[in-house]
Amino acid sequence: MSEYLKEKKIININSNDATIFRNSSFLSDLTFSFPNILSRDDEVEFVEGGLESAVFPVSFYIINYSNHILSYTIEHHGVYTNYSITIPVGNYDYKTLFTSMHTLFTANGHNFVLTLNETNGIMTMEYKPTSGRVFYRINHASSSCFRILGFDYNTDYFPTANILIAPFALNLLGIKKLKIYCPQFSSSNLDTQNYATTTLISTVINDQPPWGQINYYNNTGETGSKLRVFEMNNIDIRITDEYGALVNFNNCDWSMTFVLSTFRKGQYNAVKKMTIVNEDGEVVQQTIEENNNNSDVSDLDFLIRTNPNYFD
């Protein structure tokens, strides 16, 4: 009878044990050199694998290095000058965010008053001009915090009478989902970020507050999908937010556990049984196993006569 023989192993990795750190203390772009995790074997028909469980610290910030810059333009007597503020990374509510931004605007020599409509969550920026200056626009191409502040990240915005009202609500939810990429464990998963196949292997919902802990366990009953590799000597891990920016774990370690299963095609041994009665009338059951090479076991008479309980 032809069946697949399954061999399963678990692989546990911890960010502290990585051999290559591509983004230093961010801990989100790592390689683990792990020789002979999987070696090519002609008897292996296919390999399955996937992420079984993971633990992540919520040590990443709401305002981080991927969303903390605002660029704006001030016009003064026909001269247009671009300025920017860089918001310190950290966790904010709207009051502490607006206070920080006001301080940064003031350092540039500009007086902005930021307010929030607490009914709809809309932010208003009002520039208090001096010496004939005019708030001309905010610039999407050189800004990274438009989504946070309630603006479309692909659009420049022009104030009216030095007042700019955001079209959308302030968004201080932070990172809502972690996307885990690993080429060694990838199959044919899809992602709308590029509308193509990708090395994405799993997504993990962040439903914990800052400084909490995300506990992920794959409870679907599926241990993984068919892999595209038959050899594995390292594991490359990238962890991004829902927009593809590498997460900054601020040097707080995480861990993951993978399941790797190999499937070999073989035959279970066929078993023949016969009953022998000894001279005392006791039943003795002898088992004769036929191996996978289909060895000749037809000479049952010889086997019976060589049995110590055989009597003539």
Q: Over pLDDT 70: what percentage of the chain?
A: 82
| Number of Cβ within a 10 Å radius of residue 159 | 17
List the beta bridge partners of residue 190: 197
Give pLDDT, residue 204. 96
pLDDT band at 45 (very low <50, low <70, confident <90, very high): confident
> CA-to-CA distance for 293 and 285, rounded, in angstroms?
24
Joined tokens for residue 116:
């929030």
Joined tokens for residue 72:
């704006």
Most confident of 23-27, 126-130, 198-202, 274-278: 23-27
Comparison of pLDDT for 277 and 299, the residue scoring more: 277
What burial letters (b/e) apply to 68-103, b meaning 16+ CB within 10 Å? Answer: bebbbbbeeeeeeeeeebebebebbeeeebbebbbe
| Candidate from 17-21, 214-218, 263-267, 289-293 with smallest mean pLDDT | 289-293
DSSP labels, 91-129: ---HHHHHHHHHHHHHHTT--EEEEEETTTTEEEEEE--
Give pLDDT, residue 290. 46
- Tens digit of each residue's pLDDT (9 = 90 or more) over 184-205: 998 877 777 776 668 899 999 9
